[in-house]
Chain A
Amino acid sequence: MSEPISALNHASYDGIATVEETGLQGMITLRGDLSDKVLAKAVKDATGKKMPGQREALVDGQTGVCWMSTDELLVLVPYADVEAKLAAMTNALSGTHALAVNVSDARAVFQISGMKAREVLGKLAPVELSAEAFQPGQIRRSRLAQVAGAFWMDDDQTFRVVCFRSAADYVFKLLKVAAQPGSEVGVY
């Protein structure tokens, strides 16, 4: 194995918020019946987290689970662990109709942090991002300008944004424009 390289290799930018590509994050797309106890146990074993409710993101750092749809979860584990966790999960689900695939390399992850992080994202996604409307613990799948993306909050001033790897360069450039100095909106 050679050293795996993320799409932008930790590129970063400082403006009204700090934007950083965070490097590789282990990710498993898990599709199945979310009410199935076997599935819930597999998630718990992999992440220590319970089954998330609608649009919930139960994430601590690099580990957690996000609700993506009525039959889809995004399981987060450290990149180095992903193959082992996937194997364990596949094994646990062997008798269940479910699909677990490694999508770690198919994604890029950004962190937007700072007082104005909400406004930076609010320029690109048609989503209400006021503190009353969006908080840590929630995930939102939407679009970032012209590409699909998903995001959740690590804390009140920090977003984690996931997009397709091929769009990483575009999304980073978008975030740089949205975070340019002097572009505070003064709303969030």
Chain B
Amino acid sequence: MSTRLAKQGRLIDRSKQVTFTFNGTSMQGYEGDTLASALLANDQMMMGRSFKYHRPRGVVASGAEEPNALVGLGQGNRFEPNQRATTTELFNGLTSVSQNHWPNLEFDIGAVNTALARFLPAGFYYKTFIHPKPFWKHVYEPIIRQSAGLGKAPDKDNRDADTYEHFYAFTDVLVIGGGVAGLQAAMTAAESGAKVLLIEQTAHWGGRAPVDGGTINDEPVDKFVEQMVSKLETMSNVTMRNRCMGAGVYDHGYVLGYERLNDHKPGSQGPRHRLWRIRAKQVVTATGAIERPLSFAGNDVPGVMLAAAMRDYVVNWGVTPGERVIVATNNDDAYRTAIILKQAGVDVLRVVDARAAAGPLAEEARQLGIRVDPGKAIAKVKGGKRVKKVAICNQEGIGGAREEVECDAVAMSGGWSPVVHMWSHCGGKLIWDEAQAHFRPDPARPPLGANGEGFVVAAGASNGPLALGDVLTDAHAAGKAAAKAAGFKPKNTKAPAGEATQEAAMQAVWLMPANAEVQLRMKSWLDFQNDVKVSDVQLAAREGYESVEHTKRYTTLGMATDQGKLSNINGLAILADALESEIPKVGTTTFRPPYTPISMGAIGGEARGDVFQPIRQTPMHDWHDKNGADWEPVGHWRRTYAYVRPGESVHDAVNREVKNTRENLGLLDASTLGKLIVKGPDAGKFLDMMYTNMMSTLKVGKCRYGLMCSENGFLIDDGVVARIDEDTWLCHTTTGGAERIHGHMEEWLQTEWWDWKVYVANVTEQYAQVAVVGPNARKVLEKLGGMDVSKEALPFMEWRDGKIGDFDCRAYRISFSGELSYEIAVPASQGQAFWDALMDAGKEFGVMPYGTECLHILRAEKGFIMIGDETDGTVIPQDLGLHWALSKKKEDYLGKRAHSRSHMADPDRWKLVGLETVDGSVIPDGAYAVGEGVNANGQRNMIGRVTSTYYSANLGKGIAMGLIKHGPDRMGEIVEFPGTDGKTYKAKIVDPIFYDKDGEKQNV
């Protein structure tokens, strides 16, 4: 059984007991425990089930690389799936549940898959779920969906209770990893005067060196770590952060740090996670190395664990995963585990060493009475939910002549792989180190920064060296190199002297035994979470998958949430062997950020709830909100779609507003319309280029409706332009267009016509603008008093500055509704007061506010186009019958040349017409008109489409506009619009002006 030892546990505080639950059972642990160490202390070896076969899974590692021990943490609005027990700090009240099983962890129906495993090899899904095609929707897809996904998604109604944030940090040198290498590199860099940020993913400094032993400057490693940390803490140019993982390294020194502030104390004040968006001149990756499993049959049975993890549990948390342990290895380091276990009073039955000879650590083990078997291998581990027996055989051979030994845990070590993720994320290349049988950073090919030079330096074990002394020397050099590259002069110091027992060479062992028969290979796991075995990779190779990237996808090797931290190199070696190639030739899969999964909350940062995105508000926003506004997003703006009264439907409200505006008086908040001031001696010339119309000839005091095209000839915006004085024009843009058109103007002024004397300013938000519309519009303004708004004093398409009531304003006599209409601009800070005054004065004239849907219907009744409805980026003015707005006098304007391209002049282009349904119904939005015949795909030929379609309460029927092939020549013809509702809508082609064709109403 796994149990808490009487002594040891450098990270736990035995005076502080902590209560937590696992699958509803209450358990005890200590402060400083991880969830994994506490579960082991409670003899809970089995912590989950694998993804494909639902095999029992125990913890295999002690840190971020853990593939098995994934749990759902927390409850209700703090529930989170797929959390690694090995990196979860224990706290009082923690609740956890295991995953991927039903009905429970001990008895799981899905485990039947393991019995069927020989029928579910790699590629099973690809081969099976192909034919027959009709099975996809109703048979295959439900099956695949049912079995897809690991862990339970949080309840959608339980919104995350926590907050998150970003922080932009800037540093000369960023050191990722706070083990002895990271501490040393940070110190060396900081001593040069460079600003240093040091981040460490766990809650502790020093990494795994204190567990592995040895001395630094003749003192224990713990002591060295303590001294380094306290010295770094006093340095003003050093910032240190633990519980902060380096998640990804990106272009130009951009690095993401994932800080978990409150995971170990949920519900505390402040954000739960903080995403550090770091810009570093130089990055030192001191991310250590990860031990590799050995591939032998039954290496996935709970109780089989990485050798270094096993000693971590003993030394750090005072927990032993077993009472009778067998150690299997291909290197000397695993002997440290045997020795530490033995010294802790655990029975170490023997060390099975695949090599013929080992170094001094083996001798030390023997002297402690541990049996060492050279040249031996594990043939098979037996047991279901727990290791029961191990069959031992010779490493050479197929696994015959086995000796069985009863035990309850196996420690395995297949050598060490540097954590090269941070080096590789942004393009750092790797080289294969034959002696250590691992990939390590190639210092000649680092990731390149903005200046074309490398900006990442690997340090310590993540750079290849594994012995303590070598690690410190390497880290010291890395700190110097980074400081120098960041522009500082490193001090002439020496690396501290690290001493550890000498180790004999390791030997690459990719399979145990070397020529294991197929029954064994089918039980030798490479990827524990996704259930990929040695036999699967070999099958992929036989089926022709030569590229490691293809094999990965075919077998799902390394595609689980641990991203193959344990499995990749082993899988690669098996593939290389099967292809009769060499590992460096087969190459690695791509390392992509993040290093381990980071929370969606941290990625979103502050952008959630009511700050998910900016919502732009006009000065009258609150009034609209209090008066029944049904909101419509227009760009980032919120505009009122309709003002819904109690008891009304939205549709009722729209109809009421439409009728009232035509019959009495309507008010529209038009503040969102863009307003650009264009001024200068060349402003007229400039606007003549921007607009298709002639703007330079516009007289001061007058307005003109203008069209803007892109250089491609397509319509991009429209609006009314007013000439303010000799040098100054005010250009209205569409609501969504102010910033875009401002940018468009600046682009041409700055990059093409920079010698033209023109300045542009965006004054959109300086004004609250109200459209006062309807037969009573003049009456309400006259009641408020001030400027003369009579037909004579302020004719149609003119503007005046003056006062209305108490308000300084600019009044434009323009109309987008066909009614008598004024648009009045007042300073934004008086917008609400002005609106109130109009509402108050308008009572006797039947005033009602109206929204954007009413605006749309009124303009559609008049056949006025709307940018974004009648246009979609492929429509030219000629399509919309707007030839009158294309100046023939001008030699040039943006879009003019494009309009003479052959396709633009094609008589078959779809053209704007009005559409009137035969039965008065409303054509569905977006419907297409169909003609005779079918196209090559057997679809009805299309001859046009609806661009705007509404119910007009004024006309009592459905009206629409559309683009129809040869439309203007087909007046009176009936065209068909099949709807997605199965009905076909018949509509007559008519003139697009449905209401007041002569424009008499606006000209009063």
Contacts and interface: CB of A to CB of B under 8 A. Distances in A.
Interface of A: 1-7, 24, 29, 31-32, 71, 97-99, 101-107, 119, 122-128, 130, 133, 145-147, 164-170, 173-174, 177-178, 180-187
Interface stretch (B202-210, B309-317, B615-623): B615-623
A105 B833 contact: no
Given A122-B168, A123-B168, A173-B610, A101 B830 contact: no
30 contacts: A1-B807, A1-B830, A5-B830, A5-B833, A6-B829, A29-B761, A97-B680, A102-B766, A103-B761, A103-B763, A104-B829, A106-B766, A106-B828, A119-B167, A123-B167, A125-B168, A126-B168, A130-B170, A145-B614, A146-B613, A166-B637, A168-B617, A170-B615, A174-B606, A177-B163, A177-B606, A177-B611, A182-B271, A183-B270, A187-B239
Q: Which of B605, B767, B832 has the most CB atoms of chain A within a 10 A radius of its CB?
A: B605
Interface of B: 163, 165-170, 239, 268-271, 274, 277, 279, 605-607, 610-611, 613-619, 637, 677, 679-681, 757, 759-761, 763-767, 806-808, 827-830, 832-834
Nearest to A16: B270
A129 to B, nearest CB: 8
A183 B607 contact: no
Chain A CB count within 10 A is highest, among B270, B279, B613, for B270
Contacts of A164: 616, 765
Contacts of A31: 759, 761
Contacts of A107: 765
A107 B166 CA distance: 25
A184 B270 CA distance: 8
A184 B259 CA distance: 13
A97 B167 contact: no
B165 A183 contact: yes
Nearest to B828: A105
Contacts of B168: 122-123, 125-128
Contact of B830 (A2, A181, A185): A2
Which 10 interchain pairs have the tightest Cβ spacing? A182-B270, A182-B269, A4-B829, A166-B616, A106-B765, A105-B828, A99-B759, A2-B833, A128-B170, A106-B766
Nearest to B614: A170
Given A130-B170, A178-B606, A24 B829 contact: yes
B807 A2 contact: yes
A105 B615 contact: no
Contact of A187 (B169, B277, B764): B169
Nearest to A169: B617
Contact of B614 (A7, A29, A146, A185): A146
Contacts of A124: 166, 606
Nearest to A183: B270
B763 A106 contact: yes
Given A31-B761, A105-B766, A166 B618 contact: yes
B761 A146 contact: no
Contact of B270 (A2, A3, A180): A180
Nearest to A184: B270
Nearest to A105: B828
Given A97-B757, A170-B615, 6 more contacts: A1-B807, A5-B619, A7-B619, A106-B765, A122-B169, A180-B269
Contacts of B828: 105-106, 165
Nearest to A97: B757
Contacts of B169: 122, 187
Contact of A185 (B167, B680, B765): B167
Nearest to A23: B829
B766 A1 contact: no
Nearest to A98: B759
Contacts of A3: 833
A3 to B, nearest CB: 7
A185 B257 CA distance: 13
Contacts of A105: 765-767, 827-829
B742 to A, nearest CB: 12
Contacts of A127: 168
Most B C-beta atoms less than 10 A away, residue of A2, A105, A166: A166
A97 B681 contact: yes
Contacts of B606: 123-124, 145, 174, 177-178
Contacts of B271: 180, 182-183
A114 B611 CA distance: 23
A168 B606 CA distance: 16
Contacts of B677: 99, 101
A1 B760 CA distance: 29
Contacts of A130: 170
A40 B826 CA distance: 30
Nearest to A107: B765
Contacts of B270: 180-184
Contacts of B637: 166
Given A99-B759, A102-B766, A167-B614, A5 B829 contact: yes
A131 B864 CA distance: 56
A177 B604 CA distance: 13
B617 A166 contact: yes
Given A31-B761, A97-B757, A99-B761, A123 B163 contact: no
Contacts of A2: 806-807, 830, 833-834
Contacts of A170: 611, 614-616
Contacts of B834: 2
A63 to B, nearest CB: 19
Contact of A181 (B269, B611, B681, B757): B269
A4 B827 contact: yes
Nearest to A173: B611
Contacts of A174: 606, 611
Nearest to B675: A106
A169 B615 contact: yes
A38 B833 CA distance: 38
A59 B229 CA distance: 43
A166 B766 contact: no
B116 to A, nearest CB: 51
Contacts of B759: 31-32, 71, 97-99
Contacts of A185: 167, 274
Contacts of B763: 101, 103, 106
A80 to B, nearest CB: 12
Contacts of B829: 4-6, 24, 104-105
Of B169, B613, B616, B759, chain A has the most CB atoms within 10 Å of the CB of: B759
Nearest to B805: A2
A6 B831 CA distance: 11
A99 B749 CA distance: 15
A16 B222 CA distance: 36
B291 to A, nearest CB: 34
A164 B615 CA distance: 12
Nearest to A6: B829
Contacts of B610: 173
Contact of A1 (B681, B765, B808): B808
A40 to B, nearest CB: 17
A103 B239 CA distance: 42
A145 B610 CA distance: 13
Contacts of A24: 829
A119 B166 CA distance: 11
A24 B619 CA distance: 14
A70 B605 CA distance: 34
Given A1-B806, A178-B606, A185-B274, A123 B165 contact: yes
For A97, A165, A170, A182, the residue with the greatest tally of chain B CB atoms inside 10 Å of its CB is: A165
Contacts of B765: 105-107, 164-166
Residue from the set B277, B606, B616 with the largest chain A CB neighbour count within 10 Å: B606
